[in-house]
């Protein structure tokens, strides 16, 4: 009779796990233990009450249930530890062939890059033309070495991205069940959990009837099941129809951004050599960039536009800012025309934390308007294409609700009094009235033009950060 009570208690605990358990957050063992322990306590107390046992006996019966609960929970932790240890051992012993191949490719690119860096030394006297040719050849070798080294790092990032994508059959089945009630058929669900970043979910689905379901409703189902806010990625499909589509869902961000731009061309020029780019990435980052091509007119515009297009493509492909800029610089250096120079001024804002990373390559100073002050972020170094060895000095700052960021080309600061450009710009920014980023950019440009005509192309890009 005694063992029957324990069996019934464990059956009840198992039913609770089946109905309410979620393995990914580790609460199954607690559901099982508390359910079984509570059931045992109730049965023991009921028997003791019917037999008119003493209060001490009833207390012992209740403690028996607590002890049974504790034992089951501890056994659950022990089981998890044994499975985790076994899984780690298997992972250490077994290396996926694809991972091994990619590691070999990565090492091959790294070794090839090191061989390009071994510049030969020529003995004897050389003419000035030979020295110039040798220096140019050495620059090309270093640029090619940089390209190969970046390819090595790209393979590492690609490998990590592949192995950060996983499947979860139990959660996928629950998502399919919930969406089936909305008339949506789920074909596949992938979970992407990169280290140190927010999780992402790829859902391939379509409706089973001639209906359209808003993607936001699917996001609300994912938010409920994953216990944190999920939202469709920017520029994703708005509705799910009969055509099979794959939609990316990301964790909801803490901030939103608005931006505005104002530009003026150089006197007697029809086309500005400045260009700008703004875009969002699924991992919750907003990028704002400026590029100033050497000179003005159509050629400068083409140069800066090419730099920003390549930069955007590299970043959307998953490369880091530094890798993207170095590869663009190497490609420019290897061009036969050595007069192609362009500045790069980029700000990357993490919309989850508000942290902003700057990357300036020969760019003018930027300004951040805070609640009580205006901060100047200066850059240094040569523009892209001027040298094969690019000096990157990233700068990081924290932005808060209501902060406004000003990116501008050197033509804007050059229009201000010489030697006082940054101080005058701080005063102008601090005195600006409230408005949208587009209105602020236009007002600031008007105030700068009051100091004189534009001697160079001028572009102002304003980005505001606000809490959602």
On whether both 315 and 454 belong to a single domain, the answer is yes
The encoded tokens of residue 46 equal 């009921």
C-alpha to C-alpha distance for 103 and 123, rounded to whole angstroms:
39
pLDDT over 50 (residue 92): no
pLDDT of residue 115 exceeding 70: no
Domain that holds residue 170: 166-251
Return the pLDDT at 104: 66
Residues 279 and 393 in one domain: yes
Q: Length of the chain in residues, anyone? A: 468
259 pLDDT higher than 90? yes
Sign of the dihedral through C-alpha 311, 312, 315, 320: positive
What pLDDT is recorded for position 282?
81
The span from the CA of 150 to the CA of 389, in Å, is 13
DSSP H or E segment with residue 442: helix 437-449
Confidence of residue 94 (pLDDT cuts 50, 70, 90): very low
Are residues 54 and 188 part of one domain?
Answer: no
pLDDT in tens, 432-441: 998 999 999 9
Q: Average pLDDT, whole number, for the chain?
A: 78
Give 9 or 125, the one with higher predicted confidence: 9
Q: Which of 118, 148, 163 is the last residue of a domain?
A: 163
What is residue 337's predicted lDDT score, i.e. its pLDDT? 56
Q: What is the pLDDT of residue 455?
A: 75
Decide: 456 and 410 in contact? Cβ < 8 Å.
Answer: yes
Q: Are residues 73 and 106 in the same domain?
A: no
Higher local confidence (pLDDT), 40 or 428: 428
Contact by Cβ (8 Å): 327, 345? no
Q: Is 395 a residue whose pLDDT tops 90?
A: no
Domain identity same for 8 and 149: no
pLDDT the model gives residue 369: 93
Q: Answer yes or no: is pLDDT of 141 > 50.
A: yes
Q: How confident is the model at residue 89 (pLDDT cuts 50, 70, 90)?
A: very low
Same domain, 307 and 386: yes
Distance from the Cα of residue 351 to its chain's centroid: 9
Q: 58-67, 172-181, 238-247, 260-269: which range is least confident on average?
A: 58-67
pLDDT reading at 201 higher than 70:
yes
Q: What percent of the chain has pLDDT over 90?
A: 22
Picking from 72, 93, 114, the residue at the C-terminal end of a domain is: 93
When pLDDT is averaged across residues 44-60 and rounded to a whole number, the result is: 69
Whether 13 and 130 map to the same domain: the answer is: no
- The closest of 57, 7, 46, 459 to 260, measured between CA atoms, is 459
Domain boundary among 49, 66, 93: 93
pLDDT of residue 264: 87
CATH of the domain at 319: 3.60.40.10
Residue 127 has pLDDT above 80, yes or no: no
Q: What is the mean pLDDT of residues 217-222?
A: 91
> Is the model more confident about 454 or about 449?
449
What mean pLDDT comes out for the span 110-128? Answer: 59
Which residue in 185, 245, 248 sits closest to 222, CA to CA? Answer: 248
| Same domain (yes/no): 341, 421 | yes
State whether 196 and 107 are in the same domain. no
Query: In this structure, are 206 and 289 located in the same domain?
Result: no
Residue 40 has pLDDT above 90, yes or no: no
Name the DSSP letter for residue 384.
Answer: B
Residue 370: per-residue pLDDT? 92
pLDDT digits (tens, 9 = 90+) for 229-254: 899 988 888 899 888 988 989 888 89
- Comparison of pLDDT for 326 and 340, the residue scoring more: 326
User: What pLDDT band is residue 260 in, cutting at 50, 70 and 90?
Assistant: very high
Is 46 in the same domain as 154?
no
Has residue 221 got a pLDDT over 60?
Answer: yes
Range in 33-42, 101-110, 355-364 the model is least confident about: 101-110
CB 342 within 8 A of CB 383: yes
Share of the chain above pLDDT 70, in %: 62
Q: State the pTM of this model.
A: 0.69
Residue 287 shares a structural domain with residue 381: yes
**Residue 326 burial by Cβ neighbours in a 10 Å radius (0-12, 13-18, 19+):** buried
Report the alpha-carbon distance of residue 258 to residue 253 in Å, rounded.
Answer: 14
| Total of domains in the chain | 4
What's the CA gap between 437 and 434, in Å, rounded?
Answer: 9
C-alpha dihedral sign at 69, 75, 81, 84? negative
First to last CA, the chain: 60
- Banded model confidence at residue 172, pLDDT cuts 50, 70, 90: confident
pLDDT value, residue 49: 65
Contact predicate 215/232, CB 8 Å: yes
């Amino acid at each position: 009779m005694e063992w029957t009570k324990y069996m019934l208690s464990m059956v009840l605990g198992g039913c609770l796990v089946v109905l309410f358990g979620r393995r990914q957050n580790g609460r199954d063992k607690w559901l099982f233990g508390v359910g079984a322990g509570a059931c045992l306590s109730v049965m023991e107390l009921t028997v003791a009450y019917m037999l008119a046992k003493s209060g001490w006996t009833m207390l012992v019966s209740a403690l028996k249930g607590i002890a049974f609960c504790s034992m089951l929970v501890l056994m659950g932790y022990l089981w998890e530890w044994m499975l985790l240890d076994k899984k780690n051992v298997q992972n250490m012993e077994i290396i996926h062939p694809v991972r091994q191949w990619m590691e070999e490719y990565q090492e091959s690119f790294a070794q090839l890059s090191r061989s390009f860096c071994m510049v030969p030394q020529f003995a004897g006297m050389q003419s000035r033309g030979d020295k110039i040719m040798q220096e140019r050849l050495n620059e090309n070798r270093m640029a090619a070495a940089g390209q190969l080294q970046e390819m090595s790092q790209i393979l590492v990032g690609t490998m990590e991205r592949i192995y950060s994508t996983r499947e979860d059959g139990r959660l996928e089945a629950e998502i399919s069940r919930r969406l089936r009630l909305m008339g949506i058929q789920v074909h596949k669900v992938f979970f992407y959990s990169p280290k140190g970043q927010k999780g992402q979910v790829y859902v391939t689905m379509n409706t089973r009837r001639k209906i359209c379901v808003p993607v936001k409703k699917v996001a609300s189902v994912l938010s409920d099941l994953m216990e944190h806010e999920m939202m469709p990625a920017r520029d994703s499909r708005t509705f799910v129809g009969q055509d099979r589509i794959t939609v990316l869902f990301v964790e909801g961000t803490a901030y939103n951004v608005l931006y505005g731009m104002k530009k003026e061309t150089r006197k007697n020029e029809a086309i500005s050599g400045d260009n700008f780019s703004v875009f969002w990435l699924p991992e919750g980052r907003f990028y704002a960039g400026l590029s100033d091509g050497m000179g003005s007119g159509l050629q400068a515009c083409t140069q800066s536009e090419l730099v920003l297009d390549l930069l955007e493509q590299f970043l959307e492909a998953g490369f880091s800012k530094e890798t993207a800029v170095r590869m663009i610089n190497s490609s420019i250096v290897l061009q036969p025309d050595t007069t192609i120079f362009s500045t790069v001024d980029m700000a990357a804002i993490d919309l989850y934390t508000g942290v902003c990373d700057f990357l300036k390559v020969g760019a003018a100073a930027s300004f951040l308007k805070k609640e009580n002050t205006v901060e100047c972020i200066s850059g240094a170094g040569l523009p892209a294409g001027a040298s094969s060895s690019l000096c990157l000095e990233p700068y990081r700052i924290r932005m808060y609700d209501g902060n406004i960021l000003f990116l501008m080309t050197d033509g804007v600061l050059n229009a201000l009094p010489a030697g006082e450009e940054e101080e005058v710009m701080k005063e102008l920014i601090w005195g600006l009235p409230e408005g949208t980023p587009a209105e602020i950019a236009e007002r600031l440009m008007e105030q700068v033009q009051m100091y004189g005509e534009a001697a160079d192309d001028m572009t102002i890009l304003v980005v505001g950060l606000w809490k959602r």
